[in-house]
Amino acid sequence: MKTNYLLAAAVAVVLSLANTAAFAGAADYKFESVAPEWKKGDDVVVAVRLTHTPTGKPVTDAVIVRTRVDMGPDNMADMVSPVAVVPGKEPGVYAFKTDLPMAGRYLLSVAAKVQGEPETVVGKVILKAVK
């Protein structure tokens, strides 16, 4: 009897883990700026951290598939900067070389493929540039 109970409990745990995995989606990931502000200028390297929010763990194996930097947050969405992916300095940190020609707020839009996650993970990160 006791064995059956333990077995049932174990099965329940396994099923709930499986459900968590099945229903995990792109919304379980979060990109955030690693710094509160960035120095304005050309060829600035900015970096964001990608975290799997249910576990709080950094996501180290993402492949960045799309990027865009514009000044949308300051009503200058047509002010678009070139973006190049550059190596991050620590696991789970993704770095980009871009231009932040004026002080203000920029929107970094990034799309990434994460291993084991069928949905594309999309992040919208506001980067504050200062003099």
Give least dist CB 75 to Cu ion, A: 9
Nearer to Cu ion, 70 or 117 (CB): 70
Token duo for residue 70: 């514009």
Q: Which stretch binds Cu ion (CB under 5 A): 9-17, 43-51, 76-84, 89-97?
A: 76-84
Q: Which stretch binds Cu ion (CB under 5 A): 1-9, 29-37, 54-62, 65-73?
A: 65-73
Token duo for residue 119: 């949905």
DSSP string, 21-39: HHH--GGGEEEEESSS-EE
Q: Is residue 47 involved in binding Cu ion (CB under 5 A)?
A: no
Which 79-108 positions form the footprint of Cu ion (CB under 5 A)? 79, 102
The candidate with the shortest Cα–Cα distance to 62, out of 115, 2, 21, is: 115
Identify the DSSP state of 89: S
Nearer to Cu ion, 29 or 106 (CB): 106
Q: Is residue 76 involved in binding Cu ion (CB under 5 A)?
A: yes
Q: Is residue 71 involved in binding Cu ion (CB under 5 A)?
A: yes
The candidate with the shortest Cα–Cα distance to 94, out of 128, 117, 127, is: 127
The residue type of 22 is A
Residues that bind Cu ion (CB under 5 A): 71, 76, 79, 102
